[in-house]
Amino acid sequence: MNEKVLTAEDERIATALQALHKGAKEVSQLAQSYRPPLNGERYLTDKEVAERLKVSRRTLQEYRNDRKLPFILFGGKVLYRETDIQQMLDENYKKAMR
- Regions of the chain where pLDDT drops below 70: 1
Task: Please check whether residue 98 lies inside any domain of the structure.
Answer: no
Residue 81 CB coordination number (10 Å): 16
Please write down the long-range contacts of 69-77, taking CB distance under 8 Å and 24 or more positions apart. Answer: 72/43, 77/45
Residue 9 CB coordination number (10 Å): 7
Query: CB-based contacts of 42: which residues, under 8 Å, 6+ apart?
Result: 35, 81, 82
Same domain as 84, residue 47: yes
Same domain as 48, residue 28: no
Task: Please check whether residue 96 lies inside any domain of the structure.
Answer: no
Q: What is the DSSP letter of 14?
A: H
Task: Return the C-alpha torsion angle 10, 15, 17, 18, nearest 10.
Answer: 140
